[in-house]
Amino acid sequence: EYGIVRPKGYNVTFHTNPEMEKHHFGQTHPMKPWRLTLSKSLIMSYGMPFAMDNYIARAANFEELNNYHTQDYLDYLGTVLPEPVPRDVESANPDLKFNLGGSDCPLFEGLYDYCSMSAGGSLDAARKVCNREADIAISWGGGLHHAKKAEASGFCYINDIVLAILQLLRCYPRVLYIDIDVHHGDGVEEAFFSTDRVMTCSFHKYDPCNFFPGTGALEDNGPKNEMNAGAHHAVNVPLNDGITDDQYAWLFDSVIGKIVETFRPSAIALQCGADSLAGDRLGRFNLQVQGHGQCVAYCKKLGLPMILFGGGGYTPRNVARAWSWETAISLQCEDKIDKTIPEHTPWREHFRQEELLPSLEQILGEARPNKNPQKRIQEIVQHVHEQLRFVQH
C-alpha cells in the first residue's frame, strides 16, 4: 500500500523469531528484547515485508552452537536456572561460572531458548547468503559480539556473528566483518584472530578504564608475530564522545574503502548496533539515523553479498527508527517511504516528540559535545592505511 516493491534482480531476506522478543533480562537491565518487536512493527507499518522474503528462524541446535562454543559451556548454559532473587549492579559476585549470573549477563527464564533463537536467525541469514538466495539477509535479533568461546560477556551469551561467519567461510574465501556498535567487537575479533580469511573492523568509543570492554586500541591489529596469518587483520577505530554524522561518514568511507581495496572481501558481515546513535542510554556518540544508515548504504553499494546483524541499542524507539531505515536502505526504497511515521503504526505516540509529528529521523536525545579533533580522525585514517600496506589478497 506504500508502493514498496521488490527490488529488481535483487533479493532481501528477513529473519526473526517472535518468541525471542518475549524474554526479559530483568526490570532495570538495559537490554530489552522488546525493541525487536517495536522495530518489526515499524518495518511492517511501512509495508516493507511485501518487498522481501520473511522467515521465522528456528532455534539453532546444540551441534550448531558447538561449532564455536565449548561443550561444557553450552551444557552449563542449558541447565542453569534463574536465581530466585536477581543480583543487583552493586553486589557483583567475583567467581561466576562462565561469567554467568552477574548483573551484565543474568540468568533468566528461557535463557537457553533466547540464545539459540538469536543464533538461529543469524545462521539462517548466513545460509541464505551462501545459497545466493539472498543478496542481503537481515538478522536484527543477532549481533551479540562480546560472547566468547566459553564465556558470556556484556549482555552476550552466544556469539551468533561468529557462527554466521563460520558458515559464510564454507562458501566464500574472505569475509569482512564491520562493527558500528558503540562498543568494541572483541568477541568476533578474538574468534578470527589467527586467520587471514576474516578481517574485522570495529568503530567504537575507546577509554580503557571507563568504557566497556576497554579493548580495541588503534595499535591492536592482530597477532604481533608476522608468521601468524592473522597479523594485520584486525582494524580498530577508537573514538571519543560526541562524534557526528559527517566525521563518522568520512572515517567509515576512508577506512572501509581502503580495506575493500586491499583485502578484497567476497562477503560482508555488518553489525549495526544502534547504541552508537545520539541519545542512547549507554552510548556516547552523536550519530543520527541518517549517519548510522549511511554505513549500510556504503556497504550495499559495494555490491557484495551481505548479512546485517543487530546488536546494542538501549533507547528502543531510536533502535526501531535506525533498523527500519536500514531495512529500507537494503530494499532500495529510501526515497519511497514517508519520514512521518504511518498513522496505523502500533505505539505511534511513542515516537512523537513534543508537538512534532512522529518522525522516522528525529531521534530522542540531545547532542553531546564532540571530543574528536579532526587531526585525530586523520591520524586514524593514516594508521589504517599504513597497517593495510601489509595486507594483499
Active site residues: 146
* In the complex, minimum distance from the CB of residue 44 to ligand TV1, in angstroms, rounded to a whole number: 24
CB of residue 153 vs ligand TV1: minimum separation in angstroms? 8
- Which of 28, 79 has the CB closer to ligand TV1? 28
Residue closer to Zn ion, measured from CB, 99 or 195: 99
Output b/e per residue, 364-377; b: 16+ Cβ within 10 A.
beeebeeebeeeeb
Alpha helices in the chain (DSSP H): 34-45, 62-65, 71-79, 111-130, 160-168, 186-191, 245-263, 289-301, 316-330, 374-388
Closer residue to ligand TV1, CB minimum distance, 33 or 222: 33
Q: What is the separation of C-alpha 344 from the centre of its chain, rounded to a whole number of angstroms?
A: 29
The answer to whether residue 157 forms part of the interface with ligand TV1 (CB under 6 A) is no
Is residue 236 close enough to count as binding Ca ion by CB under 5 A?
no
Label residue 131 exposed, middle or buried (CB < 10 Å: 0-12, 13-18, 19+): exposed
Kindly state the smallest distance separating residue 282's Cβ from ligand TV1, in Å.
Answer: 5
Neighbouring CB atoms inside 10 A of 378's CB total 13
> Is residue 273 part of the contact set for Zn ion (CB under 5 A)?
yes
- What φ, ψ does residue 176 adopt, rounded to 5°? -100, 125
CA–CA separation, 1 and 5 (whole Å): 10
- One symbol per residue from 327 to 356: x for binding Zn ion (CB under 5 A), - otherwise; what is it? ------------------------------
Task: Out of 185, 312, 316, 358, point to the residue binding Zn ion (CB under 5 A).
Answer: 312
Residue matched to cell numbers 551444557:
75
Query: Contact between 181 and Ca ion (CB under 5 A)?
Result: yes
Task: Tell me if 312 contacts ligand TV1 by CB under 6 A.
Answer: yes
The reply to whether 21 sits near ligand TV1 by the rule CB under 6 A is: no
Looking at 156, 269, 333, 363, which residue binds ligand TV1 (CB under 6 A)? 156
Question: Which three-class secondary structure state does DSSP give residue 176?
Answer: strand
Closer residue to Zn ion (CB): 283 or 293: 283
Q: Per rule CB under 6 A, is residue 91 in the interface with ligand TV1?
A: no
CB closer to ligand TV1, 41 vs 99: 99
Stretch that binds ligand TV1, among 131-139, 144-152, 216-224, 247-255 (CB under 6 A): 144-152
Closest Cα partner for 154 from 113, 174, 182? Answer: 182
Rule CB under 6 A: which of 323-382 touch ligand TV1? none
The three grid cell numbers given for residue 266, joined into one nine-digit string? 567476497
In whole angstroms, the minimum distance from the beta carbon of 334 to ligand TV1 comes to: 26
Q: Which residue is nearest to ligand TV1 (CB)?
A: 312
Under rule CB under 6 A, residue 144 binds ligand TV1: yes
Mapping DSSP to helix (H, G, I), strand (E, B) and coil, where does residue 18 land? coil
Closer residue to Zn ion in complex, CB, 33/312: 312
Nearer to Zn ion, 37 or 271 (CB): 271
Residue 128, binding choice from Ca ion, Zn ion, ligand TV1, none, Cβ under 5 to 8 Å by partner class: none
Q: Cα separations (Å) of 79 from 84, 95, 111, 113? A: 15, 18, 10, 11
b/e map 193-231, b = 16+ CB within 10 Å: bebbbbbbbbbbbbeeeebbbebbebeebbeeeeeeebb
Site residues for ligand TV1, window 198-217 (CB under 6 A)?
212
30 counts as binding ligand TV1 under rule CB under 6 A: yes
| CA dist 205 → 184, 240, 285 (Å) | 7, 5, 8
Contact stretch for ligand TV1 (CB under 6 A) within 39-47, 124-132, 141-149, 385-393: 141-149
Hey, how many other C-beta atoms are within 10 angstroms of the C-beta on 354?
Answer: 5
Q: Is the separation of the CB atoms in 19 and 298 below 8 Å?
A: no
The alpha carbon of residue 194 and the mean position of all alpha carbons in its chain are separated, in whole angstroms, by: 22
Return the C-alpha cell found at 237: 577505530
Which chain residues interact with Zn ion by CB under 5 A?
181, 183, 273, 275, 312
Question: Which residues are near Ca ion by CB under 5 A?
Answer: 179, 181, 185, 202, 204
Binding residues for ligand TV1 (CB under 6 A): 28-30, 89, 103-104, 144-146, 154-156, 181, 183, 212, 273, 275, 282, 311-312
